[in-house]
Amino acid sequence: MVDVIVTAARVGRVFDGSWRATLTCDVVRDGERRYVTTGEGESIPMRIPLYFKLPPRKGATGPFHPASRASRFYRLWTVANHGQKPLRRDRMALAIFRDRLFRARTRVVIKNYKGELLAKELQHSVIEDLLP
């Protein structure tokens, strides 16, 4: 478990044409952001991404369909909204996550999309879940 602050949120299409959201989360300990030092001596924030699938769009550029109540997006959005369900499932802004402190469960990605083991250098951490 780690404490994180969501610093950025972006939406984009992925290779299969579906929509995904990526939240960039900075790791925090005792109220201070954590930093790592690169090989060149540069200090950068320790960041862990959080990915989730979004509902499809209505048309090519139209609004999104309502989020399913069973979706990860709906569940995490409700956690970010202090347990309050959205009034409308088709208007759930990612801004609710920005600049907020969360307790997060992480995991290490050790396999690629084909189920093959990744080389040690390619393994990375992602946020599995946000906790209320």
Measure the CA–CA gap between 131 and 73, rounded to whole angstroms.
13
Mean pLDDT of 88-100: 93
Q: Give pLDDT tens digits for 29-86.
A: 998 999 999 888 899 999 999 999 999 888 777 788 999 999 999 999 999 999 999 9
Mean pLDDT of 23-27: 96
Q: What is the pLDDT of residue 89?
A: 92
Which residues lie closer than 8 Å to 35 by C-beta, 6 or more apart? 43, 44, 45, 46
Which three-class secondary structure state does DSSP give residue 14? coil
Q: What is the pLDDT of residue 25?
A: 96
Q: Is the dihedral of CA 95, 99, 101, 107 positive or negative?
A: positive
Sequence letter at residue 66: P
Full domain range(s) for residue 118: 2-131
In angstroms, how far is the first alpha carbon of the chain from the final one?
Answer: 12
Rg of the chain taking only CA atoms, in angstroms: 16
pTM of the shown model: 0.84
How many separate domains does the chain show? 1
Q: How confident is the model at residue 106 (pLDDT cuts 50, 70, 90)?
A: very high
Mean pLDDT of 99-110: 94
